[in-house]
Chains A and B, each alone.
Chain A
Amino acid sequence: MDRNLFPEGVTRCGLPKFSLWMAFVAIFFLWGAYAAVVIFANGIGVTGLDNYFGFGLWITFDLAVIALGAGAFFTGFLKYILKIDQLKNIVNLAVIIGFLCYSGAMLILTMDIGQPIRAWFGYWHPNVHSMLTEVIFCITCYCVVLLIEFIPLILEQKQLNKIPFVHHFAHHLHVNMALFAGIGTFLSTFHQGSLGGMYGVMFGRPYAFRDGFFIWPWTFFLFVLSAVGTGPIFTVLVCTLIEKMTGKKLVEYKVKALMGKIAGSMLCLYMFLKIIDTWAWATGYLPSVGLTFDEMFYGNIYGKWLMWVELGLCGLVPAIMMITPSIRKNPALLYTAGILACVGVSINRYVFTVQTIAIPVMPFDTWEFYAPNWAEWTTCGMIVAYGVLVLSLCYRYLPVFPSEIKLNSKQS
């Protein structure tokens, strides 16, 4: 029925099947949208957040998706600036995922701040000393850059592209894509860093506070590296998931392995520095303020196991797996390493967000626990559903994967 809208030379499932899939995902979207209406109407008192946990699932989710969305800027940088041409087969997907992650994070933030209609104050009354100001500027600017990178792909839709103006406009945007990739790289590097800087500057919170270089605490650099160490492999995982669901080959495995190699190399560098940082924090900084490493952990929820899982099972292990050629060449092992790395970076964002503020700094204070409630879970679910809906539409109607025709004709 909608065959004329498909990219040239590809096959897609029937419209009823596609509609059923979209309706299924839309249920989660609407569930979250209902929660969003409740939140906007009654305030965020309806969430599980409180005065101890001003940051919770939403900020963790935002930081995690922004890290995982780093595939967009880093792949763009490698493709358009360093001219690694092989990546052209996956860069479109990386851009779409990046856009979805960033726009999704911004949607969450509109709910998360207590006064959404004052969100523009970040521009109007900026505090140049605040890492969050830098985050506000860079995230919004970078989201616009991602939109500019995404638009040519939309304009390349078969029917739209028949309009001469649209065709030429898309072509010129493509020609200048290196410029946008450069701007995106600059903006994204800085706000990935500033998100880490946000925690590193909190000198009242010994779990997060770090010294650093000039105005940037070490967490600034660690957050950049952990994002570029996981973003590219997250793009590969999403690509593979689409392949499994559609039963098509969309990107050559050697491109995925290359993305794995890039992610693995960055993750190795990250883990090297992260372990030094953790060691210096535990043996240098903490004793200087009268605290011990053991006092940073409590019970099961805030136990040391989280740190060992983050640094070991979901840090060192996937880093080594991805830089080892024989392991990387095995798809199942590469994907396993990718999943572990993505879980690792999410744990990192979680502990920096929640454990940081759970630790009682005043000796007579107590550990408190935080559990997100339905309003937070469903709104995060809404953002995931939004991503799935847009990605489904993109796959169906836009020429996202340049090598799809070649790879699938070979198979048949």
Chain B
Amino acid sequence: MQQIEFDTKWTMVVDIDKCSGCGSCMVSCQAENNIAPMEDGSNKLKTLTWMLVYELNNGKEFPERESAYLPRPCMQCGNPACVPVCPVVATTKDEEGGIVSQIYPRCIGCRYCMAACPYHARYFGWFDPIWPEGMEKALSPNTSTRPRGVVEKCNFCHSRLMDARARARAEGMDPNKLPDGWYKPACLEACPTGAISFGDSKNPEHKVHDLIKDKNAFRLLESIGMDPQVYYISRRDWVREQSDNHLPKDKH
């Protein structure tokens, strides 16, 4: 499929060295996106964690051991593996900004997109979403809930993009040229250490425009050519090394 180049590129940059692994981003994501609590969430391979924090380590024993935490939203790939495989066009990358959509009422739940995504960014609704009594009053009004049996994933809190565009229109501005900071995903707002930055990487007025050019910036699995819109920054060599696969002779 032809890769579409957009004028706006919503980009997330995560400074891994600032991430404490607290999981606030995961919790705020679940609240913002109306993810129902599971009765038995002990099997972590069946829970819905659109934003998931991975723990990395340098493979050494104490006292040389170091850890790092890597929050993983959907990478909103420029060349997504999931989009061309969907048999029913339930996931697309065709909107200005480059967010990979997931159309819940269209999805048949075949899970081919999940098999195709090496980041494990896609999740399946294995069970009916049930909110304990009273909790349904706290649902986000702007985020649609999903039935069981469809695939769901991070969409950079797309409803917040809609809100920001509406605000721009109301103030007589171009909704496709949002000022920096007008559109912020929930994970960014909840992060206590400011590890997450977000904006349009094609707009020089946005902070992420420069952040992605940082010498320590990298993306996950660049070698397989999926062109993610999520960048990471770490000043530690061993962390950057784990961003992709390397042959033994190429390792430091």
Contact = CB atoms under 8 A, between A and B. Distances in A.
Are A and B interaction partners?
A: yes
Interface of A: 42-45, 49-55, 112-115, 118-119, 121-122, 124-127, 129-133, 135-136, 198, 201-206, 287-292, 295, 356-357, 361-365, 368
B141 interface: no
Contact of A206 (B54, B87, B224): B224
B235 interface: no
Given A43-B149, A122-B88, A363 B245 contact: yes
Contacts of A51: 45-47, 114, 120, 122-124
Contacts of B108: 113-115, 118-119, 121-122
B247 A133 contact: no
B87 A357 contact: no
Contact of A292 (B47, B90, B118, B248): B248
A290 B244 contact: yes
A364 B246 contact: no
Chain B's interface: helix, strand, loop or mixed, by majority?
loop
Contacts of B128: 43
Contact of B120 (A115, A291, A365): A365
B81 A364 contact: no
A43 B146 CA distance: 14
A290 B127 CA distance: 38
Contacts of A363: 241-245
Contacts of B81: 202-205
5 contacts: A51-B47, A132-B112, A204-B224, A361-B118, A364-B54
Contacts of B88: 118, 121-122, 124-127, 133
B4 interface: no
Interface residues of B, number: 57
A129 B118 CA distance: 20
Interface in B23-70: 43, 45-47, 54, 56, 70
B227 to A, nearest CB: 12
B84 interface: yes
Contacts of A136: 87
B220 interface: yes
A368 B45 contact: yes
Given A43-B149, A126-B88, A291-B245, 7 more contacts: A43-B128, A51-B47, A52-B120, A201-B84, A361-B221, A361-B245, A363-B244
A43 B148 contact: yes
Nearest to B77: A204
B161 interface: no
B237 interface: no
Contact of B84 (A127, A135, A290): A127
B196 to A, nearest CB: 19
B225 interface: yes
Contacts of B157: none
A109 to B, nearest CB: 8
Nearest to A295: B245
B250 A290 contact: yes
A372 B77 CA distance: 32
Given A44-B149, A129-B1, A368-B45, A113 B109 contact: yes
A202 B248 contact: no
Contacts of B195: none
Contacts of A356: 115
Interface in B105-133: 106-112, 114-120, 122-128
Nearest to B248: A292
A290 B243 CA distance: 11
Nearest to B92: A127
Nearest to B103: A125
Nearest to A199: B115
B178 interface: no
B217 interface: no
Nearest to A125: B88
Interface in B131-152: 147-151
Given A115-B107, A202-B115, A364 B126 contact: no
Nearest to B151: A114
B226 interface: yes
A52 B125 contact: no
A198 B112 contact: yes
B89 interface: yes
Contacts of A54: 111-112, 114-115, 124
A289 B245 contact: yes
A130 B125 contact: no
Given A291-B245, A364-B56, A132 B110 contact: yes
A204 B116 contact: yes
